[in-house]
Amino acid sequence: MKLFKTDYWRSAILHAPFEQIIRQNSLDDIDVTFLPACGKEGFLADPFGIWQDDCLYVFAEFYDYNQGKGIIEVLIYDRHFTLQERRPVLSENWHLSYPQIFRYEGAVYMLPEAYKSGRLTLYKATSFPYEWEKVPTFDFPIGAIDATPLHHAGRWWLFWTPPTPKPARQSTLHIALAEELTGPWCDMGRFLIDRSGARPGGTPFIEGDDVVLPVQDCSETYGGGLRLLRINGFSKGRPSISGGDAIPLHVPEMKDYPDGIHTLSAAGDVTLADFKKIRRGLGSALINIRTKFLK
């Protein structure tokens, strides 16, 4: 029964650059450093990272089973990938996840998923990495799921999944564009419907005239895998799928986390990802009941 199952995610540092993984379309023969396990408290998922002062700052969703929602934490690693610090940096009254981190014009921005707030909110670091403020001029009123920004071909593009209707959350990709990061944003409408490869799942990669977008394969289970979707036509302002269907990312057997992967993000000479195992049993049932009650 579904009631007796719950997803548990474990984030990790992959010791290979994003470009290498995209080109080989595989995680084979790549060393892995796992982020801390959270036991029965919750899990760390959706990792995104940025380097500064020779340290890797990993921002991730910490989902607290007791609270029934996520907050954003930062984990700071030195150049030897030894964890130096871990602490919360952003919390709201609603669930937060998928904290896209990027630099633009000398500032660091965070664009987390927060669809339960009814809108998408951009944050700017005022004291990196601990303090963030909302950017009031950012205007994207829809509560976009897993919104993924990209500055390319002289414009800003946003890949996102709509929160309604509910089936669209795992099967639909929209693209919006703007001349400036803050907007105004123009939704170009529904770009793709495909439960096996439409919902964004990480950092876009520019390869020649193509943009390679990691997308989630939810055909069998939420976050069951990742695919790489090639899109072109950005210079003409008319994105279109390049080369047919999204290609599955090959993930070698993960003994302890065999049930999925749903984020792949670039961080300099390393890549970040998260892996899933499905927990079964009465404990999982109680977690699900508590979570549904809190929601």
Residue type, position 104, single letter = Y
pLDDT at 295: 41
pTM: 0.94
pLDDT the model gives residue 293: 47
User: CB-based burial of residue 6 (10 Å sphere; 0-12 exposed, 13-18 middle, 19+ buried)?
Assistant: buried
pLDDT number for residue 291? 52
- What is the longest distance spanned by two Cα atoms in the chain? 54
Calpha distance 49→36 (Å, rounded): 16
Instruction: Yes or no: say if 224 and 259 are a contact pair by the CB < 8 Å rule.
Output: yes
Contacts of 176 (CB under 8 A, 6+ apart): 140, 157, 158, 160, 185, 186, 187, 188
Q: Output the CA angle 90-150-49, nearest 5 degrees.
A: 40
Name residues of the chain where pLDDT drops below 50.
Answer: 1, 292-295
pLDDT of residue 198: 97
pLDDT value of residue 209:
87
pLDDT for residue 289: 54
Return the number of other C-beta atoms located less than 10 Å from residue 30's C-beta: 17
Report the alpha-carbon angle 245-18-191, nearest 5: 30
pLDDT of residue 294: 45
Q: Quick count: other Cβ atoms within 10 Å of Cβ 15? A: 13
